[in-house]
Structure 1
C-alpha cells in the first residue's frame, strides 16, 4: 500500500534513473537509437511491476479515509503518510476481441451483399420455381429447394440491411427501434487504413533516403495508434445485441449460396467456370448491373483482416520495433483496401490530413468552385454518394 510520500518518491527516482541512463549512454544512444527503445522498455516494465504489485495490496477497511481525515488511532501525522491508489484499469484495454471479430465478419458479409451474391441466388430461385431454366434433378436444383425451405428460419434481407445500417451506417434501411446508424464508421475506418498506409510509405521512403533510418518523423506510431483506438472505441458500443448470432447465420447462408452457384448443373446453365462467373452472369443478364465484383470482394477480404487485427491488443503496443512487426501483418491489406476503395470512388488518399477531429460527424464541406459561383449545380462525387446511399 503506497503512501503519498512513497508515490512521489517512486516517480522522482524513476525520472532520475532515466536521466542518469541517458547521460551515461548518450554517445551509444546516438550511434544505436534502438538501444533507447530497449532501455525505455526495461524502465517502463520495472515501473509497471511496482505499480501492479501495489495495486494488489488490499486496502484498509475505510480505504484510507480515516488516516487522511485525521480520525482514529490510524490518523496520519503528515500528508505524506496518507494512502494514494495507483489508478484504474485503462479504458482501451477493456474491449472484448470477440465482438470486434464479429464486426469484421459482418463487414465481409456486407460487401458480398453489395456485390449481389444473395440477389443472384434469389433470382435463380425465382427462375427455378417458374420453370424457365433447365434445372430439374441436379445437385443445384436440390440445393435450391433446400435453400427455399430454410428461408423461414433465417434472418430476412431487411434484418441484414438494418444490421449493416446500425453497425456501419451503410445503406438506406431503417435501423431497429431504439438504435441509431453508425455514421462515423466509414470515416474512421478509412482514416485508420490511410494512416497505416502512410506509415509504411514513410518508412520505405526513410529506408531509401538513409540506411537504417530511425527518425520519428518517418512513420509515427502514435498517429496510427490513435486512429486505430478511435475506430475500435467506435465499434465497441455497436457490437452488442444479436450481431454475433446474425453473422454466424449469414456466414452459413453465404456458404450455402456458393454451393448452389458452384454446382455443376447451375454452372452448365450459364456456361460458367466457377461460382463467381454465375454471379456476374446473373447480374448482367437479369439486373443489367455494372460489375464491381473484384474490388468489392478484395475490400471484403482485406477489410475483415484489418478489423480482426484491431480485435487483438496489438494496437496498445508502445515499443516501436514490436509495433512495426505487428503492424506489418496488415500493411499490404490496408494498401489493397485503400486502392480498391479509391478505384471505386469510396475513399481517397490525402498526404496532408494526418489527424481526424474526434467530434467531426460530417464530411468536411467542399468550398464552392467557379461552376457553383456561376450558378451551375455541381455534380456529386462518388465519395459523397457512398456516404448517403451505400
Structure 2
C-alpha cells in the first residue's frame, strides 16, 4: 500500500465512521465506535503488505527508479511494547509474592523449630501423620533454593529485604511504589463508580462520568513491565519449588498430632504458638495472610489483562471488579502493618502516584 493510498483510506474511513455513527443512539454509538476503531487498525495492517522494497524505492534504487513520494509503500508500525511480556514470569512473580508474605509471617522459621523439637524429643508425637511428615521433611528440603536464594529473589523482583542485590541482576526498584499505586487506583476507580451511581441514580455509561480507567491501565502496565524485566533467570523454578515446599509445610501444621501437641485448633494456631514460644512473638499474621491472598489475585489479574486503551468502559468495569475488591482488602490489611501505618489514604496516594499536587503533607511510605 502506497503512502497516498494510506492517506486516502484513512480519510475515507473516518468520513464513513462519522456518517455511520451520526444520529445513532448513544448506547449503540459507544459499542460501534470501538468496533470501528479495531476494524480500521486491521484494515491498515492488512493493506500494508508491499513495503519490503520501500526503503530502496524511497532512495530511488528500486527497479522502477525514483518514484513520487506518494507512490512509495507506507510502513505499518505496530505498537506492541506493552504486549512484550512473558506470562509465565508474571505468574511466577505473583506466586513469589504469596510466598514472601508467608515468609514475613514466619512459616519457614516455624518449620525449622518443629524439625528441631522433633529431633530433640521435645514434642509429644511419635507415629502420627505429623511425625511422619516431619521425618520426610527432615530428609526432603528444597533441592536448590534455600533461604539465601529466596531472599535474593525477593530483593530482585520486589526490592524487599536487606540482602544485597545480586551482582549484575536487575532489581525492580519501584515495585512497592507501583503496587501500592495500582491498589489505590483500583480502589479509587470503584469508589468513584459507586459515588457516580448514587448521585446519578443509574449505572449507564452516559449517566456516570466517574471512574478513571486510564490511571489503572497506566499503573498496571508499568507494574507488569517492571516485574517482567526483573523475573528472568531462576524465578519461575524457584517459585514452583518453594510453592510445593510451602504447601507441604502448611499440611504439616494441620496434622492432628502436631495441633494436639500445641493445644491448637488450626494450623495457624500452631504457627502462632510456635512464634510466641520460641521466636519472639507473632505479629501481623492476619494482615499478611490477607495481603498474600489479595496481592496475588491482583498480580495475576494484571498479568492476564491486555490493558487495551480502547476497551468498552462497561466491559472493563466487569473484568476488573474482582481485582477492585481484592485491592480494597489489600489496602485495609496493609494499613495495619508496620510499613503501612503511615499510608495517607487512597486519594492522597493516587494523587502522588500520578504526579498531581498532594493535598496532604504526608506522603505514603513505600518500603
**TM-score normalised by structure 2 residue count:** 0.90
Question: What does the per-residue CA deviation read over 1:350-376, in whole Å, with 9 as the maximum and x for residues that have no partner?
Answer: 3245456689xxxx9x969xxxxxxxx
Q: 1:45, 1:139 → 2: CA distance? A: 59
Given that 1:98 and 1:311 are in contact with CA atoms closer than 8 Å, whether structure 2 keeps it comes out as no
1:10 aligns with 2:6: no
Tell whether 2:169 aligns with 1:170. Answer: no
Match of 1:45 among 34, 38, 41: 38
SS in 1 for 2:331: helix
| Displacement after TM superposition at 1:319 (Å) | 2.0
- Residue of structure 2 in register with 1:297 after alignment: 289
Indicate the residue corresponding to 1:153 in structure 2.
Answer: 143
Q: Relative to 1, partners in 2 of residues 1:309 and 1:130: Cα closer, same or farther, differing over 3 Å?
A: same
Query: Aligned to 1:5, what secondary structure does the other structure show?
Result: helix
How many Å separate the matches in 2 of 1:190 and 1:226? 13
| Matching residue of 2:274 | 282
Whether the 8 Å CA contact 1:315–1:323 is kept in 2: the answer is: no
Listed as ranges, the gaps of 5+ residues in structure 2 are: none
1:291: how far off?
2.5
SS in 2 for 1:343: coil
Deviation at 1:58, TM superposition (A): 5.2
| 1:340 matched residue in structure 2 | 333
Cα distance in 2 for partners of 1:232, 1:203 equals: 25
**Alignment match of 1:75 (pick from 62, 65, 68):** 65
Deviation at 1:227? 1.0
Contact 1:4–1:81 (8 Å) recurs in 2:
yes
1:18-29 paired onto structure 2 within 5 Å: 18-25=17-24, 28-29=25-26
Question: 1:76, 1:82 within 8 Å by CA — same for their partners in 2?
Answer: no
Corresponding residue for 1:375?
none
Q: Deviations over 1:118-140 (max 9, x none)?
A: 11111111111222222323221
Of stretches 209-218 and 34-43 in structure 1, the one that deviates more from structure 2 is 209-218
Task: Please name the residue that 1:371 is paired with.
Answer: none
Whether the aligned pair in 2 keeps the contact of 1:314 and 1:323 (CA below 8 Å) is: no
Q: Structure 1-normalised TM-score?
A: 0.85
**Does residue 173 of structure 2 align to residue 183 of structure 1?**
yes
Task: Give SS of 1:307's match.
Answer: helix
Cα distance in 2 between the residues matched to 1:231 and 1:299: 17
Question: How far apart, CA to CA, are the structure 1 residues paired with 2:56 and 2:251?
Answer: 71
Confirm or deny: 8 A CA contact 1:267 1:273 kept in the other structure.
yes
Instruction: Return the alpha-carbon distance in structure 1 between the equivalents of residues 173 and 142 of structure 2.
Output: 31
| Partner of residue 100, structure 1 | 90
The structural deviation recorded for 1:331 is 1.6
The alpha-carbon deviation at position 290 of structure 1 amounts to: 3.9
* Inter-CA distance 73–161: structure 2 relative to 1 (3 Å threshold): closer
SS in structure 1 opposite 2:329? helix
Aligned residues of 2:215 and 2:354 also touching (Cα < 8 A): no
**Per-residue deviation, residues 143-193 of structure 1 (Å, max 9, x unmatched):** 112112123724111111111111101111223222253221000011011
Question: What is the CA–CA distance in structure 1 between the aligned matches of 2:134 and 2:109, rounded to whole Å?
Answer: 13
Q: Tell me how far apart the structure 2 counterparts of residues 199 and 152 of structure 1 sit (CA, whole Å).
A: 42
Of stretches 224-233 and 139-148 in structure 1, the one that deviates more from structure 2 is 139-148
Question: Which is further off, 315-324 or 79-88?
Answer: 315-324
Q: Which residue in 2 is equivalent to 1:138? A: 128
Q: Give 5+ residue unaligned stretches, structure 1.
A: 369-380
Of 115, 118, 125, the match for 2:108: 118
Structure 1 CA distance for aligned equivalents of residues 83 and 142 of structure 2 = 40
Instruction: Name the CA distance, whole Å, in 1 between partners of 2:56 and 2:240.
Output: 54
- Higher mean Cα deviation, 227-236 or 84-93? 84-93
Alpha carbons of 1:297 and 1:78: their partners in 2 closer, same or farther (altered >3 Å)? same
Between 214-223 and 269-278, the greater mean CA deviation after superposition: 214-223
Equivalent residue, structure 2, for 1:225: 217
Matched, 1:254 2:246: yes
Supply the distance in 2 between the matched residues of 1:152 and 1:189 (Cα, whole angstroms).
29
